[in-house]
Amino acid sequence: MAIVEVEGLNLFYTDFQALKQIDMRIAANTVTAFIGPSGCGKSTFLRTLNRMNDMIQGVRIEGKVIINGEDIYESNVHVEDLRKHVGMVFQQPNPFFKSIYENVAYGSKIHGIRKKSQLDEIVEKSLRSAALWDEVKDHLNRSAYSLSGGQQQRLCIARALAVNPQILLMDEPTSALDPISTSKIEELVQELKEEYTIIIVTHNMQQAARISDRTAFFLNGEVIEFADTMKLFSNPEDQKTEDYISGRFG
């Protein structure tokens, strides 16, 4: 069953068209990877799924982005509620200048949870889900910036999970990390899809092949091919896809 349905999506930065007539259906509890060369539109498209592009002046969107049966660009949609259901993890770890505990509890507090026992439970569950609890459980009051880069990224994942989203968007979440931290994040993604729908932008085609169920290849603002990952990498239908994954360009 599709949790995300995109129909005829076009996105413009003033006069420049960054996304062109995108149609896509993403099933729940899957990992979907977006690949393609720099500037091809994959991160721009990812940000349309929780309206992060709203903050950019001059952006105009046509078409529909339907999540759980609701067009998220309708005027009656509350963006804060949308982002509770569609969380995001960015390329660079971006913890708040707060303690580890307060980073994870932040979103729950914003949404009105104040009882300490309830916050404690949310923090522990989220850190466990992000495979970080055992490493930080005795140091929850330390600054988030005392953690390594890989730990900070898992903390940001825990922070996103704490408000119980259905969908987790990840924009090149391992590009700034060492191989060991990258491996931990990849293992985590595989575990998280049991409860969440994961959509990830990656420049690393091997990573897309390792962790995703379906892969979309973007080029010049278009989705050239969207297919089961194994098929796309082993037997692509479009010559442009073949050229990209074989290293002829990009």
pLDDT digits (tens, 9 = 90+) for 117-160: 999 999 999 999 999 999 999 999 999 999 999 999 999 999 99
DSSP-assigned letter for residue 42: H
Judge whether 150 lies within some domain.
no
Range of the domain at 217: 2-94+168-245
Question: pLDDT tens digits for 106-129?
Answer: 999 988 899 999 999 999 999 999
Distance of CA 96 to the CA centre of its chain: 19
Judge whether 136 lies within some domain.
no
Number of domains in the chain: 1
pLDDT band at 176 (very low <50, low <70, confident <90, very high): confident
Exposed / middle / buried, residue 175 (Cβ in 10 Å: 0-12, 13-18, 19+) = middle
CA torsion angle for 45, 166, 144, 106 (degrees, to 10)?
110
Judge whether 144 lies within some domain.
no
CATH at residue 64: 3.40.50.300
Judge whether 132 lies within some domain.
no
Judge whether 115 lies within some domain.
no
Judge whether 207 lies within some domain.
yes
* Euclidean distance between CA atoms 11 and 209, whole angstroms: 28
pLDDT at 78: 92
Compute φ and ψ for 15, nearest 5 degrees. -95, -10
Judge whether 59 lies within some domain.
yes
Judge whether 250 lies within some domain.
no
Enter the pTM of the model.
0.94
* Euclidean distance between CA atoms 193 and 95, whole angstroms: 23
pLDDT average, residue stretch 54-62: 92
* DSSP annotation string for 114-153: --HHHHHHHHHHHHHHTT-HHHHTT-TTSBGGGS-HHHHH
